[in-house]
A and B are shown apart, each in its own frame.
Chain A
């Protein structure tokens, strides 16, 4: 077959197809990667500490009274948020006791703060369990649970990391490893700061929160 002037030779056509194919693969790759990154929370498992971090108080869960709630239910107040689970013998009660001390120290100013405990173990921490658990620590403490998917979504929005860890010495054979941070979120749901029990005495944290209110 002869090649007329102006007609593309077959090798060039093949090369062009390969190049277009490569462009397509690259675009698709970037799209898939971005989607995955968005889905997995920027691939980051660590909590960010400063700046306008993309930590947001976004949640759709059930509170310890059985009411379905979203972040909008707490948008008129600052929020003090801790993730944990009720089968946790030490860190969780210690941190919740610490948060309760902070609330007591805030006195009337505590009206402007919603203290929230979100379980990362919703299979065991049902509404009645959460109700009994939170009432012991503080009358204002709000316990939130939900489906595994709802809890996963809330933790993703807070960039809070948790993982089920099999352990023969644990109740039902597993613990939930989790980050022990206490998040302070602004009334609009934006991130303000993170603290840890043991990081400062409750008096110091109460004073710091009072200054921000």
Chain B
């Protein structure tokens, strides 16, 4: 079963009433050691041009958006993205092997079967609280 629109639970609109971001296919990978960074993935679709500027969660010291850049030498490097562009109506996908949210300074391991709460903040001022399922350490996506 494909998980769609996991959560659009609490959406606050301090500035723009028309902005709307849909989150789908959100999940995190169970971490093996609490001392190692974990990754979370999701697809964002905004009905107006916006940017994802911050992600926070109670259980991680900080969350950064990473892109994976593979150079001509086939070497993969992670590149930090300060503001993730969300073109109007275009889904932006974070998935294994490419863009991901990196969670660092975890207070506990991400355990399979639990939910990871995330707070997303957008350049438009919109703020969303979502919760994504934690899948197995070998999971490749929210499929069963």
Contact = CB atoms under 8 A, between A and B. Distances in A.
14 contacts: A90-B96, A90-B100, A93-B29, A94-B96, A100-B138, A136-B32, A136-B137, A136-B138, A169-B104, A171-B37, A175-B77, A175-B78, A178-B76, A196-B74
A69 B68 CA distance: 33
A91 B68 contact: yes
Interface of B is mostly: strand
Nearest to A101: B138
Contacts of A66: none
Interface of A: 45-47, 86-87, 89-91, 93-94, 96-98, 100-101, 129, 132-133, 136-137, 161-163, 165, 167, 169-171, 175, 177-181, 196-198
Contact of B73 (A96, A100, A169, A179): A179
A161 B73 contact: yes
Given A45-B73, A179-B74, A179-B76, A93 B137 contact: yes
A198 B97 contact: yes
Contacts of B119: none
Interface residues of B, number: 30
A46 B62 CA distance: 34
A90 B74 contact: no
B39 A93 contact: yes
B6 interface: no
Nearest to B32: A136
Nearest to B139: A97
